[in-house]
Structure 1
Amino acid sequence: MSTTVRASAFTEPERPKNLQIRFVTIGGSFVDVIGLGEHFKNRWKRHGCKATSQFPEEGYLFSIREKANNHAAVCRAIPLT
């Protein structure tokens, strides 16, 4: 019997341009932080439940990272595609 734990039950989606960080959710999907980096506008997008940044034009990486990670820690939605 294997005791290996997989990071996700689903295939990792294609990595978009300007991907800064990708989190795996407890539901087995992914949350992407996309943008131009530390001092530029960034946003997060969820692959499972389709949630996204509330104010994508105001997101600095330090702030978006925390919000995306918090969402990944509680979201149980799975990708439907």
Structure 2
Amino acid sequence: MSTAVRASAFNEPERPKNLQIRFTTIGGAFVDVIGLGEHRMNRWTCRGCKDSSRFPEEDYLARIREKANDHAAACRAIPLT
């Protein structure tokens, strides 16, 4: 049995302005954390299932990072573009 890591079959999309972090979902889509860094006004958006954070005006990077990573770890949606 091979233990080699398989490269994603999907290409990484263009990086939006103010991209802070990008996670890969189980399905191969990407979850982008966009915002101003440590300050408020950060949000995450999944490019697979199109879900996103609910209250970006309240989200500091330290809090939203965990939420975005949790979503990426559970989301099985694949990129449609």
Which residue is equivalent to 1:68? 68
Point out where structure 2 has 5 or more consecutive residues left out of the alignment.
none
Whole-angstrom CA distance in 1 between matches of 2:70 and 2:5: 25
Aligned length: 79
**Residue 16 (structure 1) aligned with residue 16 (structure 2):** yes
Alpha-carbon displacement from aligned partner over 1:39-76 (angstroms, at most 9, x marks no partner): 23200010000000111111110111000000000000
Quote the offset at 1:4 in angstroms.
4.5
**Residue 41 (structure 1) aligned with residue 41 (structure 2):** yes
Whole-angstrom CA distance in 1 between matches of 2:39 and 2:50: 25
Alignment RMSD (CA, Å): 1.3
Quote the offset at 1:24 in angstroms.
0.6
**Residue 55 (structure 1) aligned with residue 55 (structure 2):** yes
State the TM-score, normalizing by the size of structure 2. Answer: 0.90
State the TM-score, normalizing by the size of structure 1. Answer: 0.90
| Deviant stretches of 4+, over 3 Å | none
